[in-house]
Amino acid sequence: MAEQAKKGLEGIVVADSVTSLVNGAEGKLIYEGYKIEDLAANALFEEVVYLLWNGRLPKAAELETLRKAIAEGAVLPDGVIQFLKSIPKDADPMFVTEAAVATLAFYDPDSAETTIEAAQRKAIRLTGQITTICAAWDRIRKGKEAIAPRADLTLAQNFVYMLSGTDPDKTTSDAINVYLVLLAEHGMNASTFTSRVITATGSDIHSAIVGAIGALKGPSHGGANAEAMNMFLEIGEPENVAPWFEKHIKSGERRIMGIGHRIYKALDPRAAILREHAERLAQSSGNMKWFLIADNLANAALADEYFISRRLYPNVDYFSAILLYTIDLDIDMFPPLFAMSRIAGWSAHVIEQMKNNRLIRPDVNYVGPMDLEWTPLSER
């Protein structure tokens, strides 16, 4: 008798990895041995990138070398800028990001190389280039010229600079940096698994990252924070939370986007950190409305027996929506920013897969009919 299939591969271990530990039962997340709380409080995104790629934190000179390499490698080839200008201005930013990353392969000096060393060089460039793509597309679709990255800025600062054209505000760039740190890596999620499957065939890192972006594009993965923000906009005002909850959630008609997680059965530690930064950013902006709506709705859920009994808590998407919206980022740009962060983890997994590679080829149970009799076309 064939072994029963595990729907969604739940409970199936597909690899050994040192990149991160996701402990859903206890609400813990660790990158290469370091608690996410410590990294969020102290690390530049580039430090986390170095950690994920090298298994240790960088020394000052190593950090500066990587920061500068990412910033200098973030410049997009003219052909990619022209490609972005040719895209319909109403195109979904995730389709744009996907297509632009694929286009980058045409111009990459290591595009034909599939060695680990070449993948490491390409990972540095891709980490900066995806950031530039996100900022450039947001400007181009609004009729503005793309702004090239500056070699003296961190990745978070460069994103704010390329988006606005002005020197990056510390509060905003710090919030973006924390967001990037928190979403950089998260175990064998759907997009990461996709990147490893593609890498396992011997394909190149650009293809692996394009595939990962395609997986991230789904609303059950990277699109959840956009759906959460649309939900907050629907509620509209803090005083509307209670009647909205009663009408839509207590009745079972809908679910709260951003609450509940496939892995976490305790509070997602990233959500707690993002809540603090979302509140701080809201206070500095002078607009507390969206934070209050989200916070009030989360409190209503956490006090409700349905959510308590099922151990449903806010996840990383919930408060990240408020943080990104408060910096005036369009909602459809939320998923590309997820890719902007997760490129660090994807690249780490691609290189990890390359170091101990084997084609990923799971089995499948055939449950269809057998021995059907052929019927000529004239008799069907």
Instruction: Name the residue ranges covered by the structural domains of the chain.
Output: 17-171+197-218+336-355, 224-326
Query: Is the predicted pLDDT of residue 183 greater than 80, yes or no?
Result: yes
Q: Name the pLDDT band for 196 (thresholds 50, 70, 90).
A: very high
Predicted confidence (pLDDT) per residue in 219-238, tens digit? 878 888 899 999 999 999 99
The whole-number average pLDDT for the span 159-181 is: 94
> For residue 1, is pLDDT > 60?
no
pLDDT at 224: 85
Q: Pick the closest to residue 24 from 313, 294, 346 (CA basis).
A: 313
103-115 average pLDDT score:
94
- The answer to whether 163 and 135 are in contact (CB under 8 A) is yes
CATH 3.40.50.300 fits 17-171+197-218+336-355, yes or no: no
Q: What pLDDT sits at residue 264?
A: 83
Structure tokens at 69: 């390499």
Q: Percent of the chain scored above 70 by pLDDT?
A: 99
Are the beta carbons of 110 and 121 closer than 8 angstroms?
yes
- Give yes or no for residue 303 having a pLDDT over 60: yes
CATH of span 224-326: 1.10.230.10
Q: Mean pLDDT, to the nearest integer, of 83-88?
A: 98
Q: Tell whether the model's pLDDT for residue 171 goes beyond 60.
A: yes
CA quadruple 138, 159, 222, 343: dihedral positive or negative?
positive
Catalytic residue list: 261, 317
Cβ-based neighbours of 78, under 8 Å, separated by 6 or more: none
Residue 43 has pLDDT above 70, yes or no: yes
Buried b (16+ CB within 10 A) or exposed e, 228-265: bbebbeebeebeebeebbeebbeeeeeebbbbbbebbe
Whole-number average pLDDT of the chain: 94
Beta bridge partner(s), residue 30: 21, 35
Is the distance from CB of 162 to CB of 315 less than 8 angstroms? Answer: no
